[in-house]
Amino acid sequence: MFDKDKIKNIIYNSIDEVNSMLPQDQRVEKSMDTLLSGSNAALDSLGLVNLIVAVEQAVEKEFGVSLVLADERAMNQSQSPFSSITTAVDYVYEMIGEEIKDVD
């Protein structure tokens, strides 16, 4: 079973993975309000890509669901689903729900 708390933990663990590659002064704070993209974002574009890949891999390992989070759908939204940790949790939750429904 999946829920938003599990997804938040996956994203936080993925942030830990990305943070391990960053200098101490550039590490991302694990807070639901942390901005991941856009102006004043905690990550540059490469860091965001690394985070998205880490989340995709963790979701597949945890739930057995293969997701592509940075697809046309994500890029065509008026607000990026990766603008903050909160929006990322909501987006990943929605994507997993759709994939699980499609499998049933």
- Write the pLDDT tens digit of every residue in 40-93: 899 998 999 999 999 999 999 999 999 999 877 777 666 789 999 999 999 999
State the pTM of this model: 0.89
Residue 27 per-residue DSSP state? P
Which residue is listed with tokens 């940790």?
A: 85
In the structure encoding, which two tokens stand for residue 29, read together?
Answer: 């704070």
Residue 35 per-residue DSSP state? B
Phi, psi of 84 (to 5 degrees): -145, 170
Q: Which pLDDT value is given to residue 104?
A: 47
Which residue is listed with tokens 């903050």?
A: 84
Q: Is the pLDDT at 17 greater than 80, yes or no?
A: yes
